[in-house]
Structure 1
Amino acid sequence: MTNWHPEIPEGQGPLYLRLADRISEDIATGTLAAGSKLPPQRDLAYDLGVTVGTIGRAYATIRQRGLVSGEVGRGTFVLGSAPTAPLAEDSKPDLDRDSSQPAAAPPSGSEGPSWVQAAMMVPKDIAFSGTRISVPAPEAIRFDSTSAPEIGQAAVIGPLVAEISQEKPHEIASYTRSVPDSWRQAGRKWLARSGWQPPEGSIVPTTGAQAAIMSIIAATTAPGDQIAFEDLTYSSISRGSALTGRRPVQVARDDEGPLPDDLARVCAQKHPKVLFVMPTMHNPTLGLMGQRRREEIAAVARQNNLWIIEDEVYGSLRDTDLAPFAFLVPERTFHVGSLSKSVTAGVRGGWVSSPLSHAQRVYTAHKMLTGGVSFLLSELSARLVLSGAADEFRGKIRDEIAARHELVRHYLRGHDLIASPDSPFLWLKVPEPWLSGTFKAAAASAGVLIDDEDEFKSGRSGTVYHRVRIGVTNPLTREETAKGLGILQSLLADNGACYDSFE
């Protein structure tokens, strides 16, 4: 046990963040050495005169930053800033080992966190990190993913792959150097909605939606340029843009999306080049942007020469008559869709409908960033769409999502949650005295992985929602889904009486 005793820095912002920053600083300067055990949360709370919840959230934050490891029953230990030497091949952890067999003993004289945990930790770098467990236990119930559920896609995909292999052996063996017209037609069909269809020549096939969005950012901005995000959003894009030298800026939002007045203020003060939005099904709040709000945002974009990235990956699951931004401001909207949520994630099929002025630039940027699309996967995606199989899968997946929401209603009734039978996730408010980070840690200790609110913040924010996102589509069966929801139900009923033990 270390004799370390921190002082919470003065200033603005939540106490837990200021304390987390102080702990991070002490680790960086060596005041807290690798292997040091931090004080128990209850003891430190007493010493500092704050609540146990404040300490719990600070510890959760530094754990998410990759600076410490927490072991139930043992405590919280400081990790090394970097591995001292590569592991010898025969000393690397066997991730395929039967979990029923005892683990290998640690090297003699080892202290602090287990050698397996320490070896698997990656040095913290905010640009490369999120709040998710990087190497989850294989038996964990994954409510931290929203990929399309398994409904028998392989029975259709297998014969299609065989068919493509027989018909196009040379194309499969070589690099993809051109885009067949059928791939573009598939993109036009899949992205069409609410009476709008992408124009001829606007479609760029991509390796999924995230690669598409990063390619758009590369094609429309330069390092140092600013990109506007809602303060709560799919933060992998904001982190990815920061990794490439762009600077994310936050725009205030409400239940419909970005506030037009605040977007106008941000444009006037910071001059962002791009706005990223999810208008039809916002992740994680499930929000739907109304027509008037869309028109107001479109007007701000025109006035400020702002590109719009319209992410409709989840929107493909929701029926709506609302006109997309690609219809309202086609000259400055990049409309993005994929098969990952409504057909199958493993095929990595995606498309962009680009302003005609930038379609070739997006295609080139995607090729330079990713090496180009896979012929097999792109051809497979196109055939799924053009044959009608993708629409059939989408219908079955929507039925499966609705069935799993019946389980949600059973296990989580009475709790404050935002849910919809067409959404692969829900947005749950945790009751007092839970914090989203400590509830996530408790769920992980019980074998269920969920996302806390920090996973979706595009930057530092003083806004606290006390909510977690729970995805219901990744478990293989409804039975597994029910099991995970039952575990969360028990944690919620426990009312967090002992959550400070989840170090």
Structure 2
Amino acid sequence: MRDPSPWCPRFAEGPGTLADRLARAIAEDIGQGLLPRGTRLPAHRSLAADLSTSVVTVGRAYTLLEQRGLARGEHGRGTFVMGPGPGGGGGPWATPDTDSGTMANGLADLSLNLPPVLLNRQDFARAVATLAETDALPDPASYPPCAGSTELRRSASLWLTQQRPTAPADGLLITNGALQAVAIAFTLAAEPGRPVVTEAVTFPGAIVAAGNLGRPLLGATMDEEGMVPDSLDAILTRHPGALVYVTPVLHNPTGATMSEARRLAILAVARKHQAQVVEDDAYAILRGDRTPTLYHLDPDRVWYVNSFSKPLSALLRLGVLVAPRGREAEATRGIQGSTWTAAPLPSAILNLWLNDGTADRTAIAMRADATARMDLIRSTFPGLVSPEYRAFHVWLPLPEPRAERICRWALAEGISLTPPLAPVVDANLAMGLRLCLGAPSRPALARALATLKGLLDREEHAAAAIL
């Protein structure tokens, strides 16, 4: 029988849902030392009964605590306190609008590649109010066209080509995030069961999408510009009919960016083997990249993917897909067969922001914010990234045992990192830790990076002592 939890249940005073107030009450007591690290929190049902609330409310509160690194659920055992961190004190309870990735102990969640919250709930509320006032809300009695409304497609195409001059101007389809566009391209770009050739480490979502479609993943060797053409050539020789998935700009997770010569070389290999190429261009707007897209260089072979989540807001969850010339109808059916259409209300909000200047201002602010976060990286990890590098993720090359060890130690300090194997296709070719920098406030990020640097230094000293 489990020992009872020592915590006296209560809701915190002030605004917020019951789940917010419950999570805030627990966070406050953790910060005051009333709930030390390792304390088991009450079981969901007993806490719900004590507070005359629902089990769902308790579950949501515990999830908020886990997201901020204050608690951790263990299957079959319960939920346990993880904070406060080594500096002591609970710190302020950050609301999602102000600091979605900051934990109450002042450290941060660096596990998800989210942009900073520059468009908050109030901005979304004002957008909906404007749509209502101008009679521009979507018709609740119908769906937009599967490819997105004509007006949104036109606005999105104009805005993308202003931000990314060689992005395709025609044939743009609206999807529910870039990942849906990737999944549709994976479905249509090669015969069922054929492999996907990608970088040795790649976007974890693409790994999941390929697995869901029953497509094996093959990792190509990488260098400072990303995928190496000779490695791709060797893999396609052994696996005819495979498709290629590549991120030429600010590769996720390594940040590599291809020169135009490298892009032409990759396309030449694909052309030699008659392979289709899926180009993930989701990070190019953050960098302000002017190098030609793969689609621009070979529109008959390349499936082009981009995102509005990265340069604007994760809440939009909208992306674009442009199929190779002549295959737009197939791609549209792919959207129809999965979600029928992109979500109507976010689509209407996006169309408003693309036309009223909000998207322009936000993209500029995103680039400035990314530059400031890179300054934190350079001051904490000198030499890790080049002076021109600007993104919300960086890569720490580490062998698997060290990466796993640092990830585990970081969690014990209240810092959540991407699991080391999540982006890995071939661990023999590349291994390390991805640090996602966008969600926490910059002060919280600075503290988290300093803590990570300390963990890495400690681990290096321990390894040297053993040797």
TM-score per shorter chain, which class?
A: 0.7 to 0.9
Taking structure 1 as reference, are residues 350 and 210 closer, same or farther at Cα in structure 2, changes over 3 Å only?
A: same
Other-structure match for 1:145: 112
2:439 paired residue among 471, 474, 478:
474
Other-structure match for 1:128: none
How far off its partner does 1:197 sit? 4.6
Other-structure match for 1:254: 223
Q: Distance in 1 between matches of 2:234 and 2:386?
A: 30
Q: Distance in 1 between matches of 2:373 and 2:77?
A: 39
Q: Is the 8 A contact 1:273 1:305 kept in 2?
A: no
2:452 paired residue among 468, 485, 488:
488
Write the mapping of 1:6-21 to structure 2, written as runs, cut at 5 A. none
Q: Distance in 2 between matches of 1:257 and 1:489?
A: 26
How far off its partner does 1:340 sit? 1.6
How far off its partner does 1:299 sit? 1.4
How far off its partner does 1:494 sit? 2.2
Other-structure match for 2:78: 116
Write the mapping of 1:38-117 to structure 2, written as runs, cut at 5 A. 94-96=59-61, 115-116=77-78
Q: Distance in 2 between matches of 1:208 and 1:284?
A: 18
- Matched AA of 2:327: H
Identical pairs, percent: 21
Instruction: Tell me whether 341-350 or 176-185 shows the greater mean CA deviation.
Output: 176-185
SS in 2 for 1:352: strand
- Deviations for 1:83-117, whole angstroms, at most 9, x for unmatched residues? xxxxxx969974515979xx9xx9xxxxx975226
Q: Is the 8 A contact 1:229 1:238 kept in 2?
A: no
Structure 1 residue runs without a partner (length 5+): 1-71, 75-88, 107-111, 119-135
Q: Is the 8 A contact 2:194 2:215 kept in 1?
A: yes
- Matched AA of 2:61: D
Q: Is the 8 A contact 1:419 1:427 kept in 2?
A: no
Other-structure match for 1:444: 411
Write the mapping of 1:153-172 to structure 2, written as runs, cut at 5 A. 153-166=120-133, 167-169=135-137, 171-172=139-140
- Deviations for 1:267-287, whole angstroms, at most 9, x for unmatched residues? 222114421111011111111
Q: Are 1:298 and 2:272 an aligned pair? A: no
Structure 2 residue runs without a partner (length 5+): 1-36, 40-53, 81-100
How far off its partner does 1:152 sit? 4.3
Q: Distance in 1 between matches of 2:288 and 2:167?
A: 15
Q: Distance in 2 between matches of 1:155 and 1:302?
A: 49
Taking structure 1 as reference, are residues 113 and 245 closer, same or farther at Cα in structure 2, changes over 3 Å only?
A: closer
Q: Is the 8 A contact 1:227 1:272 kept in 2?
A: no
SS in 2 for 1:229: strand
Taking structure 1 as reference, are residues 92 and 421 closer, same or farther at Cα in structure 2, changes over 3 Å only?
A: same
Taking structure 1 as reference, are residues 445 and 197 closer, same or farther at Cα in structure 2, changes over 3 Å only?
A: closer
Taking structure 1 as reference, are residues 419 and 144 closer, same or farther at Cα in structure 2, changes over 3 Å only?
A: farther
Taking structure 1 as reference, are residues 444 and 197 closer, same or farther at Cα in structure 2, changes over 3 Å only?
A: closer
1:196 paired residue among 166, 176, 181:
166
SS in 2 for 1:456: coil
- Matched AA of 1:486: A
Q: Distance in 1 between matches of 2:410 and 2:317?
A: 30
Taking structure 1 as reference, are residues 402 and 199 closer, same or farther at Cα in structure 2, changes over 3 Å only?
A: closer
Q: Distance in 1 between matches of 2:390 and 2:307?
A: 17
Other-structure match for 1:221: 190
Kindly report the root-mean-square deviation, in angstroms, between the aligned alpha carbons of the 2 structures: 3.4
Q: TM-score by structure 2 length?
A: 0.73
- Deviations for 1:372-422, whole angstroms, at most 9, x for unmatched residues? 211111122222223332121011111112122222233334x75567552
Q: Distance in 2 between matches of 1:295 and 1:233?
A: 20
Q: TM-score by structure 1 length?
A: 0.68
Q: Distance in 2 between matches of 1:492 and 1:331?
A: 47
Taking structure 1 as reference, are residues 403 and 269 closer, same or farther at Cα in structure 2, changes over 3 Å only?
A: same
Q: Distance in 2 between matches of 1:393 and 1:470?
A: 23
Other-structure match for 1:285: 254
Other-structure match for 1:27: none
Other-structure match for 1:426: 394
SS in 2 for 1:148: coil
Taking structure 1 as reference, are residues 195 and 472 closer, same or farther at Cα in structure 2, changes over 3 Å only?
A: closer
